[in-house]
Amino acid sequence: MATPSNETLFLIKDVKPGSKNLNIVFIVLEIGRVTKTKDGHEVRSCKVADKSGSIAISVWDELGSLIQPGDIIKLTRGYASIWKGCLTLYTGRGGDLQKIGEFCMVYSEVPNFSEPNPELLAQANQQNKSGKPDQNQRGNSPPNQNSGTSAPPGNGAMPPFANNNNPPSGAPRDPAFGNVGRPNGRSPGNGAPPVSVSGPPAAAKSSVTISNGRDPRRAKR
Amino acid sequence: MEPAPAKAKPQGRLLVSTPLDAKDELEERLERCVGIVQSLTNGLSEREANDALTANVCKGQQQHEEVCLGLFTLVLTEPAQAQRCYRDLTLVNRDGMNVVLVKINQILMEKFLKLQDVPRTQLVWLVRELVKSGVMGADGVVMTLLKQIAASSTSCWSRSISHYRPFTWVLKSGMLIAMSVYTYLRLIVDHGAPNLLPLRQKEVDFCISMLREKFMECLIIGRDLVRLLQNVARIPEMELLWRDLLHNPQVLSPQFTGVLQLLTARTSRKFLACRLTPDMETKLLFMTSRVRFGQQKRYQDWFQRQYLSTAESQSLRCDLIRYICGVVHPSNEVLSSDILPRWAIIGWLLTTCTVRGQGLRWSI
């Protein structure tokens, strides 16, 4: 797994399920309620944003209690996956959240890339029996879940919904799910894995939002 | 799913920090300089240590800076050694303390609120010493310090700072006198609570003495002085001052012709900005220059939560409005764009005031 330069900064719009080694600078918009996990940790889901959009991040324990709305935070070595149908950021091993400032950052709250997607939620309920997303997607996505996919199974790099070939349901959807790896209307069997877990997002060009009439969110590099 | 463990960050000696805060570069730099100084002087007698430091300082600008900043930091973090370190600093410094003044300014502007208690107290002490020694440029630092004091008037520590008697330092410069009078006249209004009355009395005594002995310097303030004096006119000493001001101006100063002279004098923007901390200014200026109209709600909420959430802080709104009207002058480019207009900010400040009928002096 090639790792990108550790200093490359990503934009929220470029985050996809299975993205790894994410370095992102964002501003905290809202802090959610605390919930307790089964093993006694505290988790908070926070809404954060940069100029390209907003997303949810889950923060554990002490850091979660320290974060305040308005904080400008740098995430290093984060990763993203689907949690209850919503794209969510996490801090990975060796990663960190650091407050580098406050207030003075322009952001856009829309699009919200963590908008829940009911289809994904249904699939998530099928797959994630433990209810928790894995830190890496190794082996977590039996390919037969993704109908029609041509993604090779077992390479460990595929998030559950990569290459999901379900056509958009026709109704325009919020571009929030652009990162979920749905094909953008190109032939589904194009073979290019929409998401490379550890590679730079440049490799993930084909994963694009369900079209809702707005510009397809192409990963711009 | 396991949470990634938060990296352990050792607490520095200067700034308060939480595990969330990124390492502070300034703090790291200063602590490195302390290390350098300590390695040069470890185990040596005072005389030898001084020689070692002097010798090192002569090697070049970088070494000079490192030693000066190391000693400076020791003054802040080691009160017991502060006198000695300050003396060493004055002995080895070769640039009129400029390297230290620059750092002090930086700390005052960017890090003041995050200073731990000991360094903060020490910093005030050091600024006093610098002024007493007649260091050139020290009054600029005093003004920045005053701003921090003025703008945080409702916090406990700033009351203790006021106790610190900055009063005598200021006599060296007309601008400083004007700034301190402006500051303390403003603070007097906020210090009406019974437990603050002793403090207020000191402030009143200071202002009266400056106004009566250094009136022409106080005149620098301009017409806002009248506004400030109006707000404290009920206080007995101030009432007496008003009588002289109105009916007997020559008592205050032979060159003073009367209130009209004062009213026709413009007040510099510097004074309007006095009541705002650098952080408040940064945030307000950010709002008026970068935030688009329609996007301001969250910023307003954050600002409000930080600075306008207590009963005492409501008086800050007037100062903020005054600042926006008098100091913020967007370029034509900004004015014609969709950046948050000033009237919208003023509207927000007016409509979110939580204290009714506070008699806020909206007159600008």
How many whole angstroms separate alpha carbon B284 and alpha carbon B151?
14
Q: What is the pLDDT of residues A24-36, one digit of tens each?
A: 999 999 999 999 9
The residue range of the domain holding A111 is: 12-122
Question: Is the model's pLDDT at B71 over the cut of 80?
Answer: yes
- Distance, first Cα to last Cα, chain A: 20
Inter-chain residue contact A91 with B19, CB threshold 8 Å: no
- Please name the member of A29, A67, A95 whose beta carbon is closest to the beta carbon of B20: A67
Q: Is residue A105 part of a domain?
A: yes
Closest-CA residue of chain A to B8: A96
Query: Who wins on pLDDT, B319 or B89?
Result: B89
DSSP H or E stretch at residue B216: helix B215-218
Query: Who wins on pLDDT, B224 or A137?
Result: B224
Chain B residues with CB under 8 Å of A90 CB are 1, 4
Q: Is pTM, for the whole model, over 0.90?
A: no
Chain B residues with CB under 8 Å of A25 CB are none
The confidence score (pLDDT) of residue B139 equals 80
Instruction: Say how many domains are in chain A.
Output: 1
The confidence score (pLDDT) of residue A87 equals 94
Q: What is the pLDDT of residues B149-195, one digit of tens each?
A: 766 654 544 554 454 455 566 667 788 888 888 888 888 887 888 88
Tell me the mean pLDDT in the region A9-19.
92
Chain B residues with CB under 8 Å of A98 CB are 20-22
Chain A residues with CB under 8 Å of B18 CB are 66
Q: pLDDT band for position B342 (50/70/90)?
A: very high
Q: Three-state DSSP class for A15? A: coil
Q: What is the pLDDT of residues A131-154, one digit of tens each?
A: 444 444 433 333 333 333 333 333
The confidence score (pLDDT) of residue B355 equals 61
Query: Who wins on pLDDT, B76 or A170?
Result: B76
Q: How far is A189 from chain B (nearest CA, A)?
A: 32
The confidence score (pLDDT) of residue B175 equals 83
Q: Which two tokens stand for residue B332?
A: 């034509």
Chain A residues with CB under 8 Å of B282 CB are 103-104
The confidence score (pLDDT) of residue B61 equals 93
| The Cα angle at residue A164 between residues A162 and A165, in degrees rounded to 5 | 145
- Please name the member of B2, B4, B290 whose beta carbon is closest to the beta carbon of A106: B290
Q: Provide the β-strand partners of residue A30.
A: A47
Chain B residues with CB under 8 Å of A97 CB are 6, 20
Q: pLDDT band for position A186 (50/70/90)?
A: very low
Q: What is the largest CA-CA distance in chain A?
A: 46
To the nearest 10°, report the CA torsion of B263, B266, B272, B274. Answer: -90
The confidence score (pLDDT) of residue A126 equals 67
Q: What is the ipTM metric for this complex?
A: 0.80
Close Cβ partners of B43 (under 8 Å, ≥ 6 residues apart): none
- Please name the member of A43, A66, A73 whose beta carbon is closest to the beta carbon of B18: A66
| The Cα angle at residue A124 between residues A118 and A130, in degrees rounded to 5 | 140
What single string gives the DSSP state of each residue in A45-100?
Answer: EEEEEETTEEEEEEEEHHHHHH--TTEEEEEEEEEEEEETTEEEEEEEEEEEEEEE
Q: Which two tokens stand for residue A218?
A: 């192409």
Please state the φ and ψ torsions of residue B337, each to the nearest 5 degrees: -95, -170
Q: Counting beta carbons within 10 angstroms of the beta carbon of residue B78, is it exposed (0 to 12), middle (13 to 18) or buried (19 or more)?
A: middle
Question: Is the model's pLDDT at B216 over the cut of 60?
Answer: yes
Close Cβ partners of B128 (under 8 Å, ≥ 6 residues apart): B164, B166, B169
How many whole angstroms separate alpha carbon B300 and alpha carbon B349?
9
What is the amino acid identity at position A214? R
The residue ranges of every structural domain in chain B are: 24-136, 149-271, 276-352
Q: How far is B40 from chain A (nearest CA, A)?
A: 34
Tell me the mean pLDDT in the region A50-68.
94
Q: Is residue A185 part of a domain?
A: no
How many whole angstroms separate alpha carbon A82 and alpha carbon A204?
17
Q: What's the mean per-residue pLDDT of chain A?
A: 68
Q: Is residue A45 part of a domain?
A: yes
Q: CATH number of the domain that A38 lies in?
A: 2.40.50.140
Closest-CA residue of chain A to B303: A103
How many whole angstroms separate alpha carbon B213 and alpha carbon B171?
11
Inter-chain residue contact B22 with A74, CB threshold 8 Å: yes
Q: Is residue A134 part of a domain?
A: no
Q: Are B352 and B304 in contact (CB under 8 A)?
A: yes
How many whole angstroms separate alpha carbon A166 and alpha carbon B322?
59
Tell me the mean pLDDT in the region A51-72.
94
How many whole angstroms separate alpha carbon B102 and alpha carbon A98?
27
Question: Is the model's pLDDT at A193 over the cut of 70?
Answer: no
Inter-chain residue contact B20 with A98, CB threshold 8 Å: yes
Q: pLDDT band for position A198 (50/70/90)?
A: very low
The confidence score (pLDDT) of residue B199 equals 83
Tell me the mean pLDDT in the region B144-148.
80
Q: pLDDT band for position B119 (50/70/90)?
A: very high
Q: What is the pLDDT of residues B2-28, one digit of tens each?
A: 444 445 566 888 999 888 999 899 999
